[in-house]
Amino acid sequence: MKILLVGSGGREHALALGLQADAACTELHVAPGNPGIATIATIHPVAVTDNDAICDLATKLEVDLVVIGPEVPLVNGVADVLRSAGFAVFGPSKAAAQLEGSKDFAKGVMRDAGVPTAHSFTCTKQSEIEIALDTFGAPYVVKDDGLAAGKGVVVTDDRDVALAHALTCTRVVIEEYLAGPEISLFGISDGRNILPMQPAQDFKRAFDGDLGPNTGGMGAYSPLAWAPDDIVEETYEKVLAPMIAEMAARGTPFVGLLYAGLALTDDGIRVIEFNARFGDPETQVLIPRLVTPLATLLYKAATDDLDDEVLHWRDESAVTVVLAAGGYPESPKTGGVITLKPAVEKTQIFHSGTTQDGASLLSSGGRVLTITGMGADLTEARDRAYRVISQIALEGSFYRSDIALNASVAEKGN
Ligand code: AMP
Ligand code: GLY
């Protein structure tokens, strides 16, 4: 099977590694990829925003499967262009990707499917916004309806800050605050069936102790020993399966990865958000733990063939830690020289924002590298990931030192 993977981050590096490890994958091409991906696949300089160029590349390479990593091309309809040209695609249509592209759309589908989520109002006028803010009270949760590259959500106790953010949005969703730990639970769907993956937890704030600004994610781990035993089953029954059924009933089946961001509240699970693609950095812990051959799995999803599929997992823990450029997330400094040490057993260095300049590896984004450690438990996995990240040199860079720390301590206490 020849595969084209679209994207250039740590998530795509992890997916590339998983696809490559499946013997069914005979050729792996990635557009545009990055220097880390280039060591395991053939990369092609095609922009993820150019639907026609991606389709032309798939045609030229005669691939059997196209896997779309990021949300922007999905919301731009790249999967529709590829499907019209006859390709099997892992990634939702433009219509189905609206689950990520519009928070108001996602709320409407959840309402029709009976999926538990925060109560909300969608507003366009200041008067509506003020009524919504005062109905729910503090903490205020204000979400830009559209894609906003991680900058769309503001959670604050300050009504003026909430109002100011709401007024910058053309359309805004204001919702009830959900208290409780957050988890990410992904499902792989062929449009009719959805196979839940194991849960992961992501660390969104920039600094230790969950301080500092929201980011794309500073680290993640899996499995979650502290989560209820039936969390996967419950999420399948209350969230994933009803969403897939509702999207199919609307005539816009969701084929690809449905990312459920959940809050475990005192009243039960609630959906915080959906994404229409694998999460970053959760993918960097889930793919190394997945035993089921990835290329075959995603091909089956893309060709409506998941009826008899089950997922198998390694009984090992994984922890991933992001090395971020100085100034991330507001104004990351790019162009710094990165010095890597050779890899250590049971660790993997995934490239997130790097570029090759002659013999030098340079930083080219806010999140630069993602380092995953595997181990018999979270403590061992953390030790490995931190041993590697502490030896990487990049001036001004930083990373959180508490990824999976509480969970690893709790696990030791069990
Ligand atoms: P998102 O960009 O949708 O992932 O939201 C960013 C973060 O905002 C989430 O990870 C949560 O920590 C927080 N958040 C979003 N919605 C809510 C909510 N209704 N209640 C509490 N926190 C929320
Ligand atoms: N880790 C959060 C996301 O991928 O959106």
Ligand 2 centroid distance, CA of 359 (Å): 32
Average pLDDT of the segment spanning 6-10: 98
Query: Within 10 A of 339 (CB to CB), how many other CB atoms are there?
Result: 10
Say what the pTM is: 0.96
Determine the distance from the C-alpha atom of residue 286 to the mean position of all C-alpha atoms in its chain, rounded to a whole number: 11
Ligand 2 centroid distance, CA of 101 (Å): 14
Q: Which ligand is nearest to the CA of 173?
A: 1
Find the helix packing angle between 126-136 and 159-167, rounded to 10°. 140
CATH 3.30.1490.20 domain extents, the chain:
120-175
Task: Please name the amino acid found at residue 298.
Answer: L
In the prediction, which pLDDT does 118 show? Answer: 96
In the prediction, which pLDDT does 199 show? Answer: 98
Determine the distance from the C-alpha atom of residue 136 to the mean position of all C-alpha atoms in its chain, rounded to a whole number: 29
Instruction: Name every residue whose Cβ is closer than 8 Å to that of residue 336 and which is 6 or more positions away in sequence.
Output: 325, 326, 362, 363, 394, 395, 396, 397
Confidence band (pLDDT; 50, 70, 90) for 315? very high
Ligand 2 centroid distance, CA of 40 (Å): 24
In the prediction, which pLDDT does 284 show? Answer: 98
Name all residues whose Cβ lies below 6 A of ligand 1.
118, 141, 152-153, 155, 175, 177-178, 182, 204, 214, 261, 272-273
329 and 148 in contact (C-beta within 8 Å)? no
Average pLDDT of the segment spanning 169-193: 96
Report residue 362: phi and psi, to 5°: -115, 155
Ligand 1 centroid distance, CA of 153 (Å): 7
Confidence band (pLDDT; 50, 70, 90) for 414? low
Our mutation pick for probing the ligand 2 site, out of 12, 143, 214, 259, counting the most ligand atoms within 8 A of Cβ, is 259
- Which residue, judged by its Cα, is nearest atom 3 of ligand 2? 279
CATH code of domain 120-175: 3.30.1490.20
CATH 3.40.50.20 domain extents, the chain:
2-90
Ligand 1 centroid distance, CA of 398 (Å): 24
**DSSP single-letter state for residue 217:** -
CA distance 188 to 331: 34
- Which residue, judged by its Cα, is nearest atom 11 of ligand 1? 272
Q: Is 10 in the pocket of ligand 2 (CB under 6 A)?
A: no
CA distance 2 to 24: 9
161 and 154 in contact (C-beta within 8 Å)? yes
In the prediction, which pLDDT does 21 show? Answer: 97
Confidence band (pLDDT; 50, 70, 90) for 146? confident
Average pLDDT of the segment spanning 102-125: 96
Determine the distance from the C-alpha atom of residue 84 to the mean position of all C-alpha atoms in its chain, rounded to a whole number: 26
CA distance 113 to 276: 17
Query: Within 10 A of 251 (CB to CB), how many other CB atoms are there?
Result: 7
190: tokens are: 């062929």
More confident residue, 151 or 231: 231
Q: Residues of 201-225 as b/e, b for ≥16 C-beta within 10 angstroms?
A: bbbbebebeeeeeebbbbbbbbbbe
- CATH 1.10.10.10 corresponds to the domain 180-302: no
CA distance 355 to 279: 22
State the fold for domain 317-413: Glycinamide Ribonucleotide Synthetase; Chain A, domain 4 (3.90.600)
Ligand 1 centroid distance, CA of 244 (Å): 22
pLDDT in tens, 246-274: 999 999 999 999 999 999 999 999 999 99
CATH code of domain 2-90: 3.40.50.20
Query: Within 10 A of 377 (CB to CB), how many other CB atoms are there?
Result: 15
Confidence band (pLDDT; 50, 70, 90) for 150? low
pLDDT in tens, 51-95: 999 999 999 999 999 999 999 999 999 999 999 999 999 999 999
- Which residue, judged by its Cα, is nearest atom 3 of ligand 1? 273
Q: Please say if the pLDDT value at position 174 is more than 90.
A: yes
pLDDT in tens, 233-245: 999 999 999 999 9
Q: Which ligand is nearest to the CA of 103?
A: 1
Ligand 1 centroid distance, CA of 118 (Å): 10
Q: Which ligand is nearest to the CA of 70?
A: 2
CATH 3.90.600.10 domain extents, the chain:
317-413
243: tokens are: 């969403």
